[in-house]
Chains A and B, each alone.
Chain A
Amino acid sequence: MKKAIAAGGIRLPQPLFIFILCAALLVVGLPIYAQSVESALERSGYSQTHKHSIITFFAEAEQSEIPTDLLLPKLEEGIAKGIPAPRVLGALMKEADNLLRTRALMLRSEEGRMLLVDPASWARAANLLSVGVAEDEIEQLIALCDARIEGFRPASYLYVAVMEWGLSGDTSLDLIGALLSSSIPLDSYMGVMDLLTIGRRRRIAPEELVQRIQQHLGRAKSIKELEKWIY
């Protein structure tokens, strides 16, 4: 059968031929982002006008060299939660704006340019903006990662947590800087928050405890080891 088709001995029915041709053109002609966006929009109940606005937005984002992968999750989340299209579009525009702003600030330093290669780090930096972290704090955080560039994301999560808990920006950055210069594994940065809460239960002021942590980070290989020396 395959040989017969290849030799042109068998003619396909016209409607099937047109469908295959259209599908091939769609696959070749449309960028991947458009396929993903359209695929997501197919699952939505949005009007054609709204769908068109969203597709246009993604095309513009692509022209601004913002990877679709960084914006698509927000669209999918909005659709899954049944959020109206105008609100989803507003959130997407805000996200794109954050990505552009963070890219601009990341391009100002060598560490930032290294981080920009990793879309997940770029997205994380944009996320910091969206949760209210100031641009200069993000720049400082990026600068602290020069020794351990892969530590940006775990360090940024810890930074947001200790700030939310109540440490000042300067104390938090001092702590993060010392941590990134240590050999504490990146996946255990969360444990530093636990050290602070345990210290609080022992009535050790957080700023005092941060000093003790900084003092011992050079010697400890793990959070558990650090814990033995600071209380």
Chain B
Amino acid sequence: MDLLEKMLSRRRTWIAAVFLLVFAGLFPAHGYAPTLLVGFYGQEFFSSDQSGQAGIRGSALLSWRTLIADNASLALYARSVGDLSPLRDGQLYDSHTLSLDALIRSRSGRILLETGLLGSGNGTIEGQAPYLRPDWHVGYEHSGDYIVTAISYSGYYCWQPEDTEDSLFQGLTLGLALDPSIRLRYGLEFLGGWETWTEGNRDDLLGSVEASAGGLIGYFHDWSVAARGGLRWSSQSGESNLFFVLESGWAWSPRRQLSLEVDAFAREELYLWPEAAAQEYDEFAAGLDFRGDWTANDRLYLVTELSAARRFADASPERRWIVTARAGIEFSF
């Protein structure tokens, strides 16, 4: 009986805590107005697998941060995208992102708790099969005058019902950020992780190091560049590889009405024992994304996007290219 009362009491405490959290969110001390956005686009999608087909895209976004105390905030971000190509297969492709984070400020640092969910019910137009991927992240950042040190644990579970590639990843990241001035910043990040395939007999160890730089050019340009290299060491020797990634971005907004962004990436995967793989392959992929938008009133945005990516591989089924052109409107409520 005592045990039952204790359990009920504990349960009531939990319920009270949850209600407190929810009401703190609904009636925040300093809540922000949520950002709610819907978008409609026409698009032309070309790929080496399928002939080019016109289609339409719809998207919805909700972003909201609310302060639950002077030193703590909660944020919600949700985005859904649906793609329909009536002339190709008439199928509705979809992708969804949901994330919730809590930020707690301490005297000399920050604690970040984050959880999220990525998924697609019908697969994505880029060819990703239906999947659901919950992820989680716990991190601490210590801020000095010019140096920020960070440590975080993160993970995800990727569930793919139509495939046997379900996997669980967990990793530890150590980061160092140096900000000698507002115009220039440097970063160094070390990642160590473990990935296991739950439906197969495969375990991978992952280690990588990333060096990055970024900053401002004048008042209206910002730029970033990052280089990452690492090793994936797999229990299936054919999957072990060295990888190198280069990413860069540039953004320019000379007036509040206009914004332009360009991002580029290149990725090289060198398989250590390709002869042990089902298909021999080394891969190189590169891509470029452009996005521009214009608004007259901060509510209605005219948007245009252009992206191109190409993958080269030893194995011909892995070679492909994709070009997407998209134009549309977004409305912010």
Interface of B is mostly: strand
Q: Which residues of B from 292 to 333 have beta carbons under 8 Å from A?
A: 298, 301, 330, 332
Q: With a CB–CB cut-off of 8 A, which chain A residues contact B103?
A: 228-229
Which residue of chain A has its CB nearest to the CB of B73?
Answer: A229
Is B129 close to A, CB under 8 A? no
Is B65 close to A, CB under 8 A? yes
CB < 8 Å neighbour of A206 from B73, B219, B256, B261: B256
Q: With a CB–CB cut-off of 8 A, which chain A residues contact B179?
A: 222, 224
Q: With a CB–CB cut-off of 8 A, which chain A residues contact B257?
A: 166
Is B86 close to A, CB under 8 A? no
The size class of the interface chain B forms with chain A is 35 or more
Q: With a CB–CB cut-off of 8 A, which chain B residues contact A164?
A: 255
A165-B220, A190-B219, A206-B298 known; A201 vs B261 contact (CB < 8 Å): yes
Smallest CB separation, B189 vs chain A (Å): 16
B256–A200 contact, CB under 8 A? yes
Is A223 close to B, CB under 8 A? yes
Q: Which residues of B from 140 to 175 have beta carbons under 8 Å from A?
A: 143, 148
Is B264 close to A, CB under 8 A? no
Tell me which of A196, A197, A203, A225 has the highest count of chain B C-beta atoms within 10 A of its own C-beta.
Answer: A203
A191–B182 contact, CB under 8 A? yes
Q: Which residues of A from 178 to 193 have beta carbons under 8 Å from B?
A: 187-191, 193
B110–A197 contact, CB under 8 A? no
Is B181 close to A, CB under 8 A? yes
Q: How far is the CA of A164 from the CA of B71 in the complex (A)?
A: 34
Q: How far is the CA of A223 from the CA of B143 in the complex (A)?
A: 12
B110–A228 contact, CB under 8 A? yes
Q: Which residues of B from 255 to 275 have beta carbons under 8 Å from A?
A: 255-257, 259, 261
CB < 8 Å neighbour of B37 from A158, A193, A203, A222: A203
Q: How far is the CA of A80 from the CA of B70 in the complex (A)?
A: 56
A200–B259 contact, CB under 8 A? yes
Q: With a CB–CB cut-off of 8 A, which chain A residues contact B183?
A: 190
Q: Mark B29-45, 1 if CB is under 8 A from A, else 0.
A: 01011010100000000
Give chain A's interface residues, CB within 8 Å of chain B. 157-158, 161, 164-167, 187-191, 193-194, 196-197, 200-206, 208, 212, 215, 219, 221-225, 228-231
9 contacts between A and B (CB under 8 A): A165-B219, A166-B255, A187-B182, A194-B182, A197-B220, A201-B253, A201-B259, A229-B65, A231-B65
Give chain B's interface residues, CB within 8 Å of chain A. 30, 32-33, 35, 37, 61, 63, 65, 67, 70-71, 73, 103, 105, 110, 143, 148, 179, 181-183, 216, 219-220, 222, 251, 253-257, 259, 261, 298, 301, 330, 332
Minimum-distance CB pairs A-B, first 4? A166-B256, A188-B182, A161-B219, A197-B253
